[in-house]
Structure 1
Amino acid sequence: MRARTALAAPVAAVVLAALPACQTRSPAAPAEAPTRPDGVVTWAASAARMDEEASERGHRLVVRTSVGGSDLRIRLTNAFGDRAVTFDGVHAGLRKEGAALMPGSNRPLTFDGARSVTVPAGRTVLSDPLPGRLPAATDLVISFDTPEATGPVSGHWMAMQTSYLGEVGHTAEEGAAAWTRTTGSWFYLDAVSVRAEPGTGAVVALGDSITDGWQSTTDTNRRWPDYLARRLKRADTDIKGVANAGISSNKVLTDGGGQSALNRLDRDVLSQPGLRTVFLFEGVNDIKAAPGITAEDLIDGYRRIAERAHAAGKCVVAATVAPFKGWSEWSPAAEAVRQDVNAFIRDSGEFDAVTDFDRILRSPYDPARILPVFDGGDHLHPNDKGMQAMADAVDLKSLDCAGPPSP
């Protein structure tokens, strides 16, 4: 990590530095329903309701970009709030280490030209484009204050990344002194986009805790979509953006760990700029729920996701459900549903491509179990090696299909 940061240092003077420093504070602008911006998503995290308050709190959130480009924009969400939230002092910079930023990289963001924005309950807002270039594969830091944020927070509780909290009034500072508390969650921020090279597209991974990265090593970006982003960065392909739309405990059909995949598809996936392909890897939480669902129920959910994505002109790559024998909710009946569902994914022809995560992760001695070398310890979630093996199994050409299949 230190070596990667050091390489970014010479760029810090120009990255995000084209915007002149603003010496005056503009009044807050009311948020309006955002339209999908031009550009390509470079990072995302799906929001859900978090039952806490964030009044009089500063946030310094660390995220990892995938594709690089210019004209950075962020999306702030109050999708699960029950009252308006005002965001003050919003800044974007590059991380040096911990909560400290590269000197000269921390720049103010605006919203319709204002330095503050109020987002009504249930809404999101996009920032104005920030002139300057943002590198690929770098730690971006978004800082903002929520001086009067009462009621539920919209955010992503399991970030697998350390971010920082502090008192209000320090977002423009590049030092770490004011950011004394750590957090493993992201609050209010749910997407970042850039204007990339013409023709560049993105893939959004729609999933549960495996996609979210549970059992991967915190602060190392070893979720399987992170490994995929590294492969795409090196590859001769126009797909460079990777957004992680995984939520722990999420299901395809019913709400629980966040809204179901069906209910959040538009907001978390189809709204992302530059989206070329939806990568669908979800279903184990539906299968192991008690009482369990039928294979036909889950297959119907997959079909509805594919139909909506195809109707929006997007490719759909589906992945088989991984083995989970040894997890407390495994049963022979659940395993039978998993096998039927995987047969549909492999053989139905209803997806533009299939990635067989089951085949990659399963043990040859007991195919209902994860191979021990890939097992994160709970027999459901892969470890770092398993996450990398999953990303390596993705056919990169499948992420850039010509479009939905003909009827």
Structure 2
Amino acid sequence: MRAGHDHTRRVAAVILAALVTAVGVPLAAPAAQARPSVSAEARTPQDPAPAGRDRHFAVTWAASADRQGAGPADRSYRLVVRISAGGNALRIRLSNAFGDHPVTFASAYAGLRRQGAELIRGSNRRLTFAGQPSVTVPAGETILSDPLPGKLAAQSDLVISLYVTGAEGPTTGHGMAMQTSYATAGDHAAEEAATSWTDPISSWYWLDAVSVETSTAISSVVTLGDSITDGWASTSDANRRWPDYLARRLQAAPDSPVKGVANEGISGNKVLADGAGQAALRRLDRDVLSHPGVRTVLVLEGINDIKAHSGVTVDDLVAGYRELADRIHAAGKCVVGATVMPFKGWSEYDAAGEAVRQGVNDWIRHGGAFDAVVDLDRITRSPYDPQALLPFFDGGDHLHPNDKGMQAMADAVDLSALRCDR
């Protein structure tokens, strides 16, 4: 018996930097037990407080949910995400916010990626929901998993594998992941090999957040934005969106209590009007304020309102920014505003839109609604043509920064500005 225990400890040591299995702790109730549906308590998006007063949950990864195309039933999804902050007792949030029918997650697992769809051997562990191995989520609702015992290292490639049944009509997910995930027919969620995962996909489905338990001294920042925050024109499968660069900076900063980064960008999103996702004003509660452990919100939105030739004025956008700031402050969180970046050369550019951008940026810099300002316009514009992106940062369409531009944006954030005195 002692030899068996020694072997277990040696295996656990190999994966200690990521998930540490607690020997003998039951991970799920027997599969024969009844499958739960989501109770009113489970539907609450906020995490309950952990038992220790010096510990809390903090969001370490997120992707804004939106309405996606119809999803086939009896299908498994292997979703690859790079977390930011490390911690214990990971929890995932599954969303059916935009579905028209209930969806059943018949099994769910969390593991660590080795490469592609292959997981590190021994890392894939079952997730449960109110002690059960499966759960049915009604249309319009979300659910949190039970905490999974063990430690998750910062900057881990976490893999959530879901076996989904009963999916009808539109699904809920994040369309532009800039990350390859995988799908397959049937239930393969428990498998660690890549053999069955033959269908690469470029979106995240159902999964919209991951949180970990950490010290109450540690907190997270949410980046609320559009395609620039979503990472368009950055290199796929490389985690080079500007929030990714910011997460690496925060991990390397020993004096920063802000370690988690939740990327809530949606390509094409606007502050004021629905379209590509719900407007920032409509999705603020679900995509930002519902996450645990958030200390600060960094807002980079507005270019899609401006360039759409919709007649949006400076006053219109200022009113939208003020409402965002007021609601974030009312929730007890800091808010940092970012100036709107140049877009000369983009097909919708014109002098009227540029005048609105300049007026909006002047208000962001001097209006006083934000606790701090990141002047991304100044950082990314060309010194020879201030209405245009610096060519070295231009991803090719004169609107979206490339990898170097994304890194420059993250480097422009004063890390001390992410921890105001509220």
1:34 is displaced (CA, Å) by 2.0
AA matched with 2:37: P
1:76 is the counterpart of 2:86: no
Q: Which moved more, 1:355-364 or 1:163-172?
A: 163-172
Give me the CA root mean square deviation: 1.4
Deviation (angstroms), 1:13: 8.4
Q: Is the 8 A contact 1:16 1:107 kept in 2?
A: no
Match of 2:30 in 1: 24
Match of 1:11? 15
| Shift, 1:10, TM fit | 2.9
* Counterpart in the other structure of 2:67: 49
- After the TM superposition, which of the residue ranges 11-20 and 150-159 deviates more from structure 2? 11-20
Specify the alignment match of 1:208 in structure 2.
Answer: 226
Q: What is aligned with 1:282?
A: 301
- Matched letter for residue 356 of structure 2: V
Unaligned 5+ segments in structure 2 are 1-11, 50-56
Q: Could you say what secondary structure the match of 2:323 adopts?
A: helix
TM-aligned CA deviation for residue 148 of structure 1 = 1.4
Answer whether contact 2:101 2:139 (CA < 8 A) is retained.
yes
Residues 153-198 of structure 1: per-residue CA shift (max 9 Å, x gap) = 0000100000000122211111001101000100000000000123
Distance 1:13 1:278 in 2: 29
For the residues of structure 1 that align with 2:218 and 2:310, how far apart are their CA atoms?
44
Match of 2:263 in 1: 244
Paired residues for 1:342-361 under 5 Å: 342-361=361-380
TM-score normalised according to structure 1 size:
0.95
Cα deviation for residue 291 of structure 1 reads 2.5
2-structure distance, mates of 1:287, 1:327: 12
Q: Which residue of 2 aligns with 1:5?
A: none
Residue 52 of structure 1 and its aligned partner are, at CA, apart by 2.0
Indicate how the Cα distance of structure 1 residues 207 and 14 shifts in structure 2: closer, same or farther if over 3 A, else same: closer
Measure how far apart 1:51 and its partner are. Answer: 1.9
Q: Which of residues 20, 33, 36 in structure 1 aligns to 2:46?
A: 36
Partner Cα separation in structure 1 for residue 120 and residue 29 of structure 2: 21
2-structure distance, mates of 1:293, 1:64? 36
Partner of 2:174: 156
Q: Is the 8 A contact 1:75 1:127 kept in 2?
A: yes
In 1: Cα distance, 2:98 partner to 2:302 partner? 24
State the Cα deviation string for residues 312-345 of structure 1 (Å, max 9, x = none). 0000000000000000000000000000000000
1:9/1:206 CA distance change after superposition, 3 Å: farther
In 1, Cα distance between equivalents of 2:408 and 2:258: 20
SS for the counterpart of 1:62 is strand
Structure 1 Cα separation of the partners of residues 202 and 322 of structure 2: 34
1:13–1:234: structure 2 CA closer, same or farther, 3 Å change rule? Answer: closer
Structure 2 match to 1:391: 410
* Code of the aligned partner of 2:360: V
| 8 Å contact kept, 2:16–2:151 | no
Give, in whole Å, the separation in 2 of the partners of 1:92 and 1:302. Answer: 38
Do structure 1's residue 381 and structure 2's residue 388 form an aligned pair? no
Q: Which runs of 5+ in 1 are unaligned?
A: 1-7
- Alignment length (residue pairs): 396
Match of 2:284 among 265, 272, 278: 265
Cα 1:81–1:9 shift into 2, 3 Å: farther
Report the CA distance between 1:99 and its aligned residue. Answer: 0.4
CA contact (8 A) 1:284 1:321 kept: yes
Q: Structure 1 residues 118, 336: closer, same or farther in 2, change over 3 A?
A: same
Q: Aligned pair 1:199/2:217, yes or no? A: yes
Whole-angstrom CA distance in 2 between matches of 1:222 and 1:262: 27
| Contact 2:28-2:128 within 8 A present in 1 as well | no
Looking at structure 2, the residues matched to 84 and 330 of structure 1 have their Cα atoms a distance apart, in angstroms, of 43
Percent same amino acid at aligned positions? 62
Q: State the Cα deviation string for residues 71-102 of structure 1 (Å, max 9, x = none).
A: 10000000000111100110000000000101
Contact kept, 8 Å, 1:27 with 1:115, in 2: the verdict is no
Cα distance in 1 for partners of 2:181, 2:109 equals 15
Kept in 1, the 8 Å contact 2:99–2:171? The answer is: yes
Deviations along 1:23-69, one digit per CA (max 9) or x if unpaired, are 83133111132241140000000010002223111000000010000
